[in-house]
């Protein structure tokens, strides 16, 4: 079976990529399977910059084609926050629960019609000796007033998806993989991956 390296340590992302890639015959390897991984500082101003930096740093270290995902939640009423800071919104230890609580807290008093938000995913595919390929995907929703649902990861329990009348965390993994920002971005990358790897 073909294999692809994904430059992530996020178990939620890894689970989703395993599922998505199995549909086109790839096994997924992540940074959790490798030793002495360089710690990439995510100091870019955009998802694309961070995804590129993660993919190119790891592709160079191991001399192998590498995919990276930089993603996050964009809340209109918070002027786009947490955005590229989504993972560390409530502090350096990347606590999903604390991050959600902070978003909910910042939105106290904001009415339903002004709670629009979207998940964004930028994917970068770095191939040694080639220029990096970038794609994006987004998924629209609204921030709830409390967490709901047990599936997924990150901000899923507070992201209501109107087209499904459920939060992202109430969707099965198959349902999430039909509509998610990550799945939509990967769809755009699929042909390149299949022709290059």
Ligand X SMILES: O=c1nc[nH]c2c1ncn2[C@H]1C[C@H](O)[C@@H](COP(=O)(O)OP(=O)(O)OP(=O)(O)O)O1
Nearby residues of 178 by Cβ (< 8 Å), 6 or more positions away: none
Shortest Å distance, C-beta 164 to ligand X: 14
Residue at shortest CB range from ligand X: 154
Nearby residues of 73 by Cβ (< 8 Å), 6 or more positions away: 82, 83, 86, 103, 117, 118, 119, 120, 154, 155, 159
The correct pick among 66, 86, 144, 167 for binding ligand X (CB under 6 A) is: 86
The correct pick among 28, 87, 134, 179 for binding ligand X (CB under 6 A) is: 87
CA distance linking residue 74 with residue 111, whole number of Å: 17
The correct pick among 19, 42, 76, 136 for binding ligand X (CB under 6 A) is: 42
Q: Given the complex with ligand X, which of 53 and 129 has the nearer CB atom?
A: 53
Residue 62 binds ligand X (CB under 6 A): no
Q: Which entry of Mg ion, ligand X, none binds 160, CB below 5 to 8 A by partner kind?
A: none
CA distance linking residue 71 with residue 13, whole number of Å: 10
89 near 102, Cβ under 8 Å? yes
Q: Which entry of Mg ion, ligand X, none binds 8, CB below 5 to 8 A by partner kind?
A: ligand X
Annotated catalytic, 43? Answer: no
CA distance linking residue 138 with residue 131, whole number of Å: 24
Residue 154 binds ligand X (CB under 6 A): yes
Among 20-28, 64-72, 104-112, 183-191, which window interacts with ligand X (CB under 6 A)? 64-72
Please report which helix (H) or strand (E) contains residue 18, including its range. Answer: helix 11-22
Instruction: Give the contact letters, 25-44, x = binds to Mg ion (CB under 5 A), - = no.
Output: -----------------x--
Angle at 13 between CA 10 and CA 18, to 5 degrees: 120
Instruction: Give the contact letters, 74-93, x = binds to Mg ion (CB under 5 A), - = no.
Output: -------------x------
CB atoms within 10 A of CB 41: 10
**Token couple for 16:** 């989703």
- Mark the binding-site residues, compressed into ranges: 8-13, 70-71, 153-156, 176, 181-182
Q: Which residues are catalytic?
A: 70
Residues of the binding site for substrate? 8-13, 71, 153-156, 176, 181-182
């Amino acid at each position: 079976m073909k294999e692809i390296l994904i430059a992530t340590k996020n178990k939620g992302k890894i689970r989703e990529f395993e599922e998505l890639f199995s549909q086109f015959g790839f096994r997924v390897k992540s940074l959790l399977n490798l030793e002495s991984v360089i710690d990439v500082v995510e100091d870019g101003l955009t998802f694309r910059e961070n995804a590129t930096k993660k993919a190119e740093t790891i592709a160079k270290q191991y001399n192998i084609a590498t995919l990276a995902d930089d993603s996050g939640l964009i809340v209109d009423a918070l002027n786009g926050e947490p955005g590229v800071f989504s993972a560390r919104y409530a502090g350096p230890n990347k606590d999903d629960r604390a991050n959600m609580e902070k978003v909910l807290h910042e939105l106290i008093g904001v009415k339903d019609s002004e709670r629009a938000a979207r998940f964004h995913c930028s994917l970068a595919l770095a191939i040694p000796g080639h220029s990096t390929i970038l794609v994006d995907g987004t998924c629209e929703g609204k921030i709830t007033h409390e967490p709901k649902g047990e599936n997924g990861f990150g901000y899923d329990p507070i992201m209501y998806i109107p087209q499904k009348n459920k939060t992202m965390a109430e969707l099965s993994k198959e349902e999430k993989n039909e509509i998610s920002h990550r799945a939509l971005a990967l769809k755009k990358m699929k042909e390149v991956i299949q022709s290059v790897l």
